[in-house]
Amino acid sequence: MNDPQYIDEDEVLFRPIYETSKSFYILAAVLVVLLLFGVFMYVRQLVYGLGVTGMNEPVSWGFYIITFVFFIGISHAGTLISAILRLSKAEWRRPITRMAEVITGIVLIIGGIHPIIDLGRPDRILHIFERGRLQSPLLWDMTSITAYFTASTIYLYLPLIPDIALLRDRGGKFNKLYRILSWGYQGTEKQKHVLERAINILMVMVIPIAISVHTVISWIFSMTLQPGWHSTIFGPYFVVGAIFSGIAALIIVMIVFRKVFHFEDYLKQIHFNYLGTLLLVMSLLWFYFTFAEYLTTFYGHEPTEMRVFLYKFIGGYYPFFWLMVICNFLIPLIFLTNKKLKTIPGILVASIAVVIGMWLERLIIVVPSLANPRLPYPTGMYIPSLTEVSLLVAASSAFILGFMGFSKLFPLISIWEIKEGREESVRVVSERLNEYLPSKGHIRK
Amino acid sequence: MKNKILISAFLFIGMAVGYYYFYNTTGNVKHLDPISFSHYVHTKQHKIKCQVCHRGVETQMRAGIPNIDVCSMCHSSIIDSTSKKEFVIYSYVKDNKTIPWKALYNIPDYVYFSHRRHVKMGKLECSDCHGDMTTQTSPELQNFTPFKMQFCFDCHESRGVSTDCGNCHH
Amino acid sequence: MPRYGMVIDLNKCNQCGACVTACKLENNVQIVSKENADMGRAMYWMKMLDINYEGSYPEIRPTNIPMLCQQCDEPSCTKVCPVRATYKRDDGIVAQIYPQCIGCRYCMANCPYTAKVFNWLKDEQPVENEKCYNTDVSVRPKGIVEKCTFCIHRLQKAKENAKSEHRKLEEDDYIPACAEVCPSNAIYFGDLDDPKSQVAKLVHDYRKFTLQEELGTKPKVYYLSAKSE
Amino acid sequence: MEINRREFMKLIGGSFAGLAIGGAAGTLMKIPKSMEPVLYTGPRKESWKLTACANCPGGCSLKVRLIDEFPIQAFGNPLSPVNKGGICSIGLASVASLYHPDRLTGPLKNVDGKFVSITYDEAYKILSDKLGKILSKNNQDNIFIIAQTESQLKASIFKKFSDETGIKNLVLDEFHSNSIYPYSLISDKAPDFIDFEKCDYLLNFGSRMTEISDNPLYFTRKIIEHRAKGYKIGVVQPKLNSSVAKTDDWVPLLPISFADFALGIAYILIKDEKYDKNFVGKYFPEFNEYKQFVLDNYYPEKVEELIGVPADKILSIGRDFEKASAPAAYFDESLLYSTNGTKNAMAIIALNALKGFSGYGTLKDDLLKLESEKNPNSKEDVTFARFKERVADNGSIQALLISGSNIVFNSPNQEELKKQISSIPFVASFSSFIDETSVLANLIIPDHDNFERLDLLPGESMGFPTITVQQPIVTPFFNTTDTSDVFISLMKDLKPDVKLTYQNYSDYLKQIAKQLYTNHTGILMDQRKPTAIENGLKKIGWDSSQFSGFDDFWDGFLEAGGWWNPYAAKESFNPKIEFKQKFSKELFTSGNATTSVSKNKLRMNIFRKNFDYKGNMSIYPVLVEQFGSNWTVFYELWAEINPETAQKLSVNDRSKVLLRTTSGNFPAILIYNPSIIPGNLDIPFGLGHTNFGNNCGYNPLAYSDDLFDRKSGKPSFSETIIEIVSVEKQGESSPLAFNNSTDKTKVGNQDRRTYA
């Protein structure tokens, strides 16, 4: 591995690990402060009780649950996209998969913490294990998230092993860590074979788990009797929304790191074009589901459902609802169908809009239903407090910090896969093409 | 390196212990009573039954800790002038002061526990939960049994008594 | 095994609110500060549901309903509880076990009657009320869900008393505070399965209705509508 | 592995740091809420004691639950014939007043604007010296006593005191005496009760029978029974409240025009000749004049023009009234809260006379021989009107004694009244709290709490006599004194030659109870079910109860919580009606109720809620929180308005508004309520204490015009013109008193007096 040629070739990918700019520290400091402020607010919440939030009697779930659903949704970016791309042997996946998987890992931790933040008695969390009841969708949810977290962490780790080995061989800082983590990987044929098999098995496994995770989360809502939640399409609706927001988050991450770490050679316009198209497809799909959901509600005209419907459309939450439609549908449609606008900045705008829009979608799902209970009880209004907002900010900064930390330890783009692609993909792809393309001779005949 | 691991291990253990100690307050709280009361002297030597002093044990939810109104039945005057202990109790009786006993067995307010139900109707012995107090010459410092729900539960299950949560929790 | 239920005769109820007060005092339900009450965190296990008006001025009459946990036979709250902090007892009471509750508020979200309340803040009771706490009922700490339990602590005591007198539990032995104090005797309480009890007779009244019947939760709190004709 | 000293220290430090972190986390996670129960080490022995609720005239028997001798809860006594186990909100909450942090712990003297703790003997000496000085100069007329008590026996002590000392100015601000006051003007006696056995039509003029009346819980039950029998109830009320909710006819009308309505009904009876000619001929000497007056002035169309009630409505209610064989037109104290109060009452009494008072009954024998009745010269009651006249006349009152009444809070024009009262040289209060009135006092000798006092509460409003015992279920917590005892010893000291047959109030009560024992009638409110033979014996007035003597009876009386006589002889009520004034237009011209209210000028109609007729609900936190919970308005004043009126004024539901009267501005939350009379703004009474309780909200009475019934002196609740000034922004709210009540237990050195 001491061949200087390789090092020169992908040196830019190693650079973030060894070189740290001043702005990195400043940003990290800011984020840590934000994170600590969030922690402080959480401790305050522990001391004073959940009353420091804006939640109230009918609206008993708020930002925490919204953020939880949102982050778990984003986690689909990763594993699912990278697994599907790997499975479909899309060659352009090579520089993307790592970042996607990292998103999953980080976001699952942050998202998974949120239900605990939301608990009134976090000290009794162990009751779930001691006296858990399997009837409760909350428990299914916990099970599937744990499974998904385990699977996706391994799925992140396995393709990382050859790169860690590379880092180990280069020497330098954290060598001990790399030595432990690389498990003595030397790149032998056998090791490669085992690794590839493991990745292949996991990537098939991860897809159903990922889909199940978000379906189960949707069931938390759709299993209830609440108007606006009790819907059969919630499962696929949530999965689509999750992939949608996942892709958007992935695009944002890619664009940011491309700019910051100068990955222009690796992440090219074509990647963004492909992902943009995928985003557009998901946007249309999302719109289709939303349309179906609300049309049936409107047409059925069931009074309690209608109250929630009207609350979203013209009532207290109308700004959020229409902003969501604009963010999730109109902006992607404008930016991703127009060739002139489908540039990298354009795609970035669309992606940011989608991320915001998808967060709003969770808000639109959670709050209006609770705010309009079935009985003519005075409807509640939900206004988040500083605690909730600062914890949302802290969660976002934790996400960024996680990425920054990862970038200082491991390469953000899978080096060995790039290398492998460079060496073999032309051959492999042409072989594959030859398999299913009719040969020239055929036509002549 | 190893020492670092050791230190962190100690740190961790310390955290665990501290957490457990401060979080867990039911039972095992050391304390001192104002009078070194001897159950042995009262029950074995003078053959006083438990319910004479713990008057509610068969009639009420709480057995009750006796106070000077009970003590003064015998200790209204000094019986044995050689005993120092007796002088202490007499001073309380004389001044009509409430003895600040410390309750060792505390049950959280969300538990419905009735002595009458267990002693009178359930025919349990005092010693089943409190241990053999007749041999104690000084106040107990520790609960005989850790009053955890599991303790109640085991007994209820083995005797076929209802274990419905709502029967004991309120 | 009995199946406890309640019948509220709206023809007799004149909205005096004694049941609400009795419930708050009997169960040590927290009194919240103005800030919290304005946010919608006022805690009532039993409340007078907002007044609706029938007819137009001056031929107008208010209709309102004393609303408490409906003690459903098919409760939707117990299904979703992850730790069995709320469950249906054999005698039909939907119990809430406070030391078990982790405060996830899933049951609140799934209660179609919005009958559950949450302890949002640690309680800061006025002194005068703190001194009058009912010692039979625990004071709930912050962070857990609570609701009407048909005064289950009264059942616990009544059972013990009946047993100590070597007799069966009779109808008068156990009655929730709201039913006890109602000045117009509009609240009936008893065993729905006992054909001799008054509630069992009243649930066959033609005026009977339950709230949100279409949901199939089968509430055990029945109402007799105010129409007397 | 070797460990050197440094490493060892590190280890120790590490484990300590761990302990600290873990401990902190543990304490934090525990979320400390182990509410120390009030009496934790006690045996928690439960006991029940019976007493009576003295928060209203009903005299309900309370079953109080005590844990270790401390009362914690109150329920209704199921054996009491008054409430039969039922109890209202205020009765339920009443235990809390015992533990109120603002309760006075002993007598206080005002020294230069500050209250200083003194002993009872000092306080008593100041009081008796002061009164003695004034009396010795024969200035009896310059002493005023204002007393409010639900107990007629306590009232009789006040009367006795005023008789013996010659202080004529005794204002008895008591529900019962206020309700019979109008009768005293025009008839020789007042009825004791509505005879629900006979009565088949009840026309209720403004009385909130099921909430604030002579006997709310009894009426609650009776109204249900009455309707179940198929009889009708009509109500004339300014607000659709719970007393109206379950009745057949509701005539929304302000109290000011009740007289016109009553005369309108009388017109129909007279025109149809369906009145009781026999009765009228016998007992109504001025009937012909009355008849002529009504026939001339109160034909339905005219009444419609006057008060806006449709003529057919008057006709239909009039027909209901005349068809009934024993109708009762009922009113009580509430009626007096209007400038026309006494006139209204007289018109209603006259209406009853047309039907011979057939819906009413009275008891044949007087229940008890009360002390004051030996002195006929105390017949004429002094009313608030007299006090108002005198207090306005600066300097003429030399001493004022106030017991049980918070007159400042219950009066309009409070600032003026405060100034006037503080200009009185000597004011003594017997209040348990430093309330709006007692803050002006020079001397406060706090009375016992309701649960610390012995008293008897007789009642006759049910058709049979009852006496409920209010007995001390706890020994007084603080250095408080029963006000009756203070007055009895004052009587002895000021007039040493008066021969009293009792030494203190409890002696007096025993004397009264002895009458019950010697009469051998009635039974105790206990569980004994009399046999048929006993019933027969009791009906003829012979008591078979085996009491060995009076003491035995007294013990049983206390234990049972009361006495009643279900077999008391009743008779129909036949008073002699004498209008001292001739019927004239001046007396019965209607108030200007129908004058249309212009643009944003509205009529303020103050109403009382939650069984709270004295305005002292504020000391019960549970009731304060519940006060507006139907509207989800908490700790704040609200104003109800008819949506149509509101739309004309373009104000929205639940908007915060600033209201203006001639006395000032105050904020409120506007609430749409379709049952409000158009042009009215209904505002609840009870919040807005500035000195005690939860000082949240505003007292609308403080902003009312100084209008009152000229005969009784009761403030008008519904005639102030109010204006919606502006719609406020969100955010402004009144302060909440929960958190700052910590230092209130030390009352001695508080600076609460604003008028030095």
Residues D523-581 pLDDT 10s: 888 876 667 777 777 766 666 667 788 888 888 888 888 888 888 888 888 888 887 66
Q: Tokens for D156, please give them.
A: 């009789």
Q: Is residue D694 part of a domain?
A: yes
Answer whether C1 touches D (CB < 8 Å): no
Answer whether A202 touches C (CB < 8 Å): no
The pLDDT of residue C86 is 92
C87, C138, C164 member nearest B110 (Cβ):
C138
Is the distance from CB of D200 to CB of D355 less than 8 angstroms?
Answer: no
CA distance to partner chain B, nearest, from residue D33 (Å): 11
Residue listed under structure tokens 């699977």: A151
CB contact under 8 A, C149 and B170: yes
Domains of chain C, with CATH numbers? 4-74+121-135+150-224 (3.30.70.20)
Closest residue of chain B to C155, computed from CA coordinates: B167
CA distance to partner chain A, nearest, from residue D32 (Å): 9
> Rounded CA gap, A348 and A208, in Å?
29
Closest residue of chain D to B102, computed from CA coordinates: D41
> Rounded CA gap, A3 and A400, in Å?
34
Answer whether A368 touches C (CB < 8 Å): no
Q: Residue type at D648?
A: K
> Rounded CA gap, D557 and A177, in Å?
89
> Rounded CA gap, D690 and D696, in Å?
8
CA distance to partner chain D, nearest, from residue B60 (Å): 7
The pLDDT of residue B123 is 87
Subunits with 3+ Cβ pairs within 8 Å of A are C, D
CB contact under 8 A, D29 and B16: no
Q: Which of C127, C136, C173 to mutate to test the interface with D (most CBs of D within 10 A)?
A: C127
> Rounded CA gap, A279 and A252, in Å?
12
Contacts of A2 (CB under 8 A, 6+ apart): A169
Q: Is residue D165 part of a domain?
A: no
Q: Which of C83, C118, C119 to mutate to test the interface with A (most CBs of A within 10 A)?
A: C83
The pLDDT of residue D744 is 32
Residue B89 pLDDT > 90, yes or no? no
Other CB atoms within a 10 A radius of the CB of residue B69 amount to: 11
The pLDDT of residue D119 is 92
CB contact under 8 A, D28 and A43: yes
Closest residue of chain A to C118, computed from CA coordinates: A57
Q: Which of D39, D41, D68 to mutate to test the interface with B (most CBs of B within 10 A)?
A: D41
CATH number at residue D649: 2.40.40.20
> Rounded CA gap, B121 and A2, in Å?
85
Q: Could you tell me where the DSSP H helices lie in D540-627?
A: 550-560, 585-588, 621-626
The pLDDT of residue A12 is 73
Beta bridge partners of D721: D603
**What count of Cα atoms within 13 Å lies in the side-chain half-sphere of residue D3?**
12
Is the distance from CB of D720 to CB of D705 less than 8 angstroms?
Answer: yes
CB contact under 8 A, B112 and C100: no
The pLDDT of residue D755 is 28
Which residues in chain A (371-410) have CB-CB distances under 8 A to chain D? 378
Q: Is residue D522 part of a domain?
A: no
CB contact under 8 A, C95 and B116: no
Answer whether D93 touches C (CB < 8 Å): yes
CA-nearest of A121, A42, B105 to D30 is A121
CA D190 to chain centre: 20
Taken in order D468, D469, D473, D477, is the CA torsion positive or negative? positive
The pLDDT of residue C131 is 83
Answer whether C220 touches D (CB < 8 Å): no
The pLDDT of residue C107 is 92
Q: What is the mean pLDDT of residues C84-93?
A: 91
Q: Tokens for D35, please give them.
A: 């509410």
Find chain D residues with C-beta within 8 A of C44's C-beta: 629
The topology under which CATH files domain A14-122+133-418 is Formate dehydrogenase/DMSO reductase fold (1.20.1630)
pLDDT in tens, C162-176: 988 888 888 888 999
**pLDDT lower than 70: segments of chain A:** 1-9, 377-379, 439-445
Other CB atoms within a 10 A radius of the CB of residue A238 amount to: 29
CA distance to partner chain A, nearest, from residue C76 (Å): 8
Q: Is residue D40 part of a domain?
A: no
The pLDDT of residue D598 is 64
The pLDDT of residue D121 is 92
Beta bridge partners of D73: D65
> Looking at this predicted complex, what is its ipTM?
0.85
Q: List phi, psi (to 5°) of D181.
A: -55, -45
Closest residue of chain A to D630, computed from CA coordinates: A378
CA distance to partner chain C, nearest, from residue D54 (Å): 17
The pLDDT of residue B33 is 64
CA distance to partner chain C, nearest, from residue D13 (Å): 35
Subunits with 3+ Cβ pairs within 8 Å of C are A, B, D
CB contact under 8 A, D674 and C56: yes
Q: Which of D232, D634, D694 to mutate to test the interface with C (most CBs of C within 10 A)?
A: D634
Q: List phi, psi (to 5°) of A53.
A: -90, 180
Q: Is residue D673 part of a domain?
A: yes
Cα dist from A100 to A247, B39, C36, whole Å: 9, 71, 43
Is the distance from CB of D456 to CB of D151 less than 8 angstroms?
Answer: yes
Answer whether A133 touches C (CB < 8 Å): yes
CB contact under 8 A, B166 and C160: no
pLDDT in tens, A259-269: 888 888 788 88
**Boundaries of domain holding D691:** 595-742
Answer whether A51 touches D (CB < 8 Å): no
Domains contained in chain D, number: 3
State the burial class of residue D11 (Cβ atoms within 10 Å of its Cβ: 0-12, 13-18, 19+).
middle
β D601-608/D680-685 pair status: parallel
* Three-state SS annotation for D72-126: EEEEECCCCCCCCCCCCHHHHHHHHHHHCCCCCCCCEEEECCEEEECCHHHHHHH
CA-nearest of A270, A315, A252 to A77 is A252
In this structure, what is the dihedral angle of CA atoms C95, C100, C105, C107, given to the nearest 10 degrees?
-30
CB contact under 8 A, C44 and D629: yes
For residue D234, give the DSSP letter.
E
Find chain A residues with C-beta within 8 A of D30's C-beta: 123
The DSSP annotation for A348-364 comes to: HHHHHHHHHHHHHHHHH
Q: Could you tell me where the DSSP H helices lie in A88-227?
A: 97-118, 127-131, 137-157, 161-170, 175-181, 189-222
The pLDDT of residue D544 is 60
Q: Which of C164, C165, C169, C174 to mutate to test the interface with B (most CBs of B within 10 A)?
A: C164
Q: Is residue D722 part of a domain?
A: yes
The pLDDT of residue A443 is 54
For residue D514, what is the enclosing H or E element? helix D505-519
Q: What is the mean pLDDT of residues B54-77?
A: 82
**Cis amide leading into D81 (omega within 30):** no
Q: Which of B4, B7, B12, B102 to mutate to test the interface with D (most CBs of D within 10 A)?
A: B7
CB contact under 8 A, B121 and C164: yes
The pLDDT of residue D29 is 52
The DSSP annotation for D374-430 comes to: G-GGG-S-B-HHHHHHHHHSTT---EEEEES--TTTTSSSHHHHHHHHHTSSEEEE-
C37, C127, C184 member nearest D221 (Cβ):
C184
Q: Residue type at B58?
A: E
* pLDDT cut 70: percent of chain B above it: 88
The most distant pair of C-alpha atoms in chain A lies apart, rounded to whole Å, by 83
C37, C48, C58 member nearest D625 (Cβ):
C37
Q: Which residues of B5-38 are buried (b: 16+ CB within 10 A; e: fewer)?
A: ebbeebbeebbebbbeebbeeeeeeeeebebebe
Answer whether D4 touches B (CB < 8 Å): no
Q: Is residue D352 part of a domain?
A: yes
The pLDDT of residue C96 is 92
CA-nearest of D668, D670, D672 to D643 is D672
Is the distance from CB of A182 to CB of A164 less than 8 angstroms?
Answer: yes
**Domain map (residue ranges) of chain A:** 14-122+133-418
The pLDDT of residue D587 is 59
For residue D713, give the DSSP letter.
-
The pLDDT of residue A444 is 52
Residue C58 pLDDT > 60, yes or no? yes
CATH number at residue D267: 3.40.228.10
Find chain D residues with C-beta within 8 A of A122's C-beta: 29
Q: Is residue D203 part of a domain?
A: yes
The most distant pair of C-alpha atoms in chain B lies apart, rounded to whole Å, by 70
CB contact under 8 A, A49 and D31: yes
**pLDDT lower than 70: segments of chain D:** 1-3, 25-42, 367, 369-381, 528-530, 539-545, 580-599, 728-756
The pLDDT of residue A323 is 92
Contacts of A181 (CB under 8 A, 6+ apart): A160, A161, A164
For residue D10, what is the enclosing H or E element? helix D5-30
Q: Could you tell me where the DSSP H helices lie in A3-50?
A: 4-9, 11-18, 22-48
Which residues in chain D (117-146) have CB-CB distances under 8 A to chain C? none
> Rounded CA gap, A229 and C138, in Å?
34
Residue listed under structure tokens 């557009």: A280
The pLDDT of residue B29 is 43
Answer whether A3 touches D (CB < 8 Å): no
CB contact under 8 A, D629 and C51: no
The pLDDT of residue A391 is 93
